[in-house]
Structure 1
Amino acid sequence: MTVKEAVCRRATADDVEDLHRLIESYAVQGIMLPRSREALARQIDSFVVAEIDGDIVGCGSLFQLGPELVEIRSLGMKEGYKGCGIGTKLVDLLVEEARSRGIPRVMALTYAVDFFRKNGFEVVDKEIFPEKVWTDCVSCPKRHACDEIAVLKVLN
């Protein structure tokens, strides 16, 4: 598969089940926070998907943490589609969304540091994001032993 075959678009209510299945495949491995179908339906406007021949093969979302900071969340690919450039296409779409909203900083917590570095992010200390800590980390099961790496892209 190539990135050219993937169509990236805003998610719709019809995508909730596919999003849930994809995110759950990561959540059971402990590398992504689970999202209920109900939460996905409520937050559907924040999601983008990558589709090939009508099949959802990737997703990601943008969550506003403050007036100058958004987080890329729930970024994932179906098995067999990693390394095809689709993740970069999704990240580019999410970064453009942040830029269009006038939000200067885009962050993520990730295990895929090399992927984000290739996409213009730099590794930073996660403590510089109190907005993230107080929004999500306080209720995360890994809060006392978080092994995710914070990355940041400052938009020009």
Structure 2
Amino acid sequence: MNTTITCRNARPEDVEALYELIQGYAEKGIMLPRSREALLRHIDSFIVAEESGRLIGCGSLFRLGTDLVEIRSLGMADGYKGMGLGSRLVDALIEEARRMGVPKVMALTYAVDFFRKNGFEIVDKEIFPEKVWTDCVHCAKQHCCDEIAMLKLLA
């Protein structure tokens, strides 16, 4: 990473790059797909990382209740893993949760070590009925979910 990477709020013109990045993960079965229309509808919930005008990472917050948000669609372009970009995106999303006044941030993930490194702890999925009834009820893996629930309480 020789050039400057910046994190910023996503804009409507980022939709196509967001779609392509998320679709790459979705095709591997490690992220839920998002339509361009859904991305545009929820563009205000996304933070993106950019290098030399190119979108190289993203993440979003989804409100599940008055005291809980979920980190969703956290990913980065090939070649940027292990360089701290994911942690920068999580930090930006945590700051946004603080700004919103939300004390709990959760994630469903396969990247347990990454989220642990960023201050999250493994918890039981069942403590998030908001998530279960919002998304899980429609998921093909509903009865055999292999993702790990993680939670960070904000001070």
TM-score (norm 1): 0.97
Asked if 1:33 corresponds to 2:32, the answer is yes
Question: What RMSD, in angstroms, separates the aligned Cα atoms of the two structures?
Answer: 0.9
State the 1:100 CA deviation: 1.1
What SS is found at the alignment partner of 2:71? strand
1:122 match: 121
Aligned-partner Cα distance in 1 for 2:53–2:83:
17
What SS is found at the alignment partner of 2:70? strand
Aligned-partner Cα distance in 2 for 1:76–1:144:
25
1:99 match: 98
2:130 match: 131
**Mapping of 1:5-154 within 5 angstroms?**
5-154=4-153
Aligned-partner Cα distance in 2 for 1:110–1:6:
25
TM-score (norm 2): 0.98
State the 1:144 CA deviation: 1.1
Regions of 4+ moved over 6 Å: none
How many residues matched? 155
- For structure 1, the 5+ residue unaligned runs are none
- For structure 2, the 5+ residue unaligned runs are none
Q: Percent identity?
A: 70
Deviation by residue 1:82-120 (Cα, 9 ceiling, x = unmatched): 111111111001101111111100000000010000000
What SS is found at the alignment partner of 1:116? helix
